[in-house]
Amino acid sequence: MGKNLTEKEFKKLIQKHIRNVDFVKVTIDDDCAIFGFLVKFSNDFVMIEESNDFALAGTKIIPYNSIRSIRNNMYDKVSKAIYVSEKLIQFNQDIINKTNLDNAEALFKSIKKQDFHCIVESSKNKKDLFSIGEILEVKSKSVVINNYDPAGRINKKPHKISFKNIDLINFNDNYTKVFRKYLTQKNT
């Protein structure tokens, strides 16, 4: 969580960045940095409209407890000014409203209901896992993803991912939206 901030102060900081539509850098537990705009949060998750090269690059969901810091310095303020000047801040409010951050089960059910494929990055026993595909099933403690490979082949066996191992969730991004059009039905 944010340096030297109480839980209440940290939540107020997040609310302030959402209200002001601030461009931020979010650093998470593995020192990974995500740049973009905070748009929604709960006690369990933070939703970010990720940016890359002055374009919105999809929706990223981060477990709330994995956030180490949120930066909004002079560099980020200049980035926001460019986004505003170029009229690049255009969030899909419908997606934001329909994405339920109450808990992991509700989150994946809401992504599935919106018919998005997603990318789930997770770790288990210090092994990094990457799953991309359609959400087949959402259970109380896990999600089942119909994973596909870089050649567009759907795996024979879907990936079952425990919620407790999830590090990041990505959806509404160009990669998954375009790639799903070119999937082959051959199983690997």
Identify the residue whose tokens are 């991309």: 132
Determine the pLDDT at residue 164. 92
Determine the pLDDT at residue 188. 47
Determine the pLDDT at residue 166. 93
Residues 34, 123: Cα–Cα separation, whole Å: 18
What architecture is domain 103-187?
Answer: Roll (2.30)
Residue spans in the chain of domains classed CATH 2.30.30.100: 1-99
Determine the pLDDT at residue 131. 93
Fold of 1-99: SH3 type barrels. (2.30.30)
Q: Which residues of the chain have pLDDT under 70?
A: 1-3, 124-126, 184-188
Determine the pLDDT at residue 125. 63
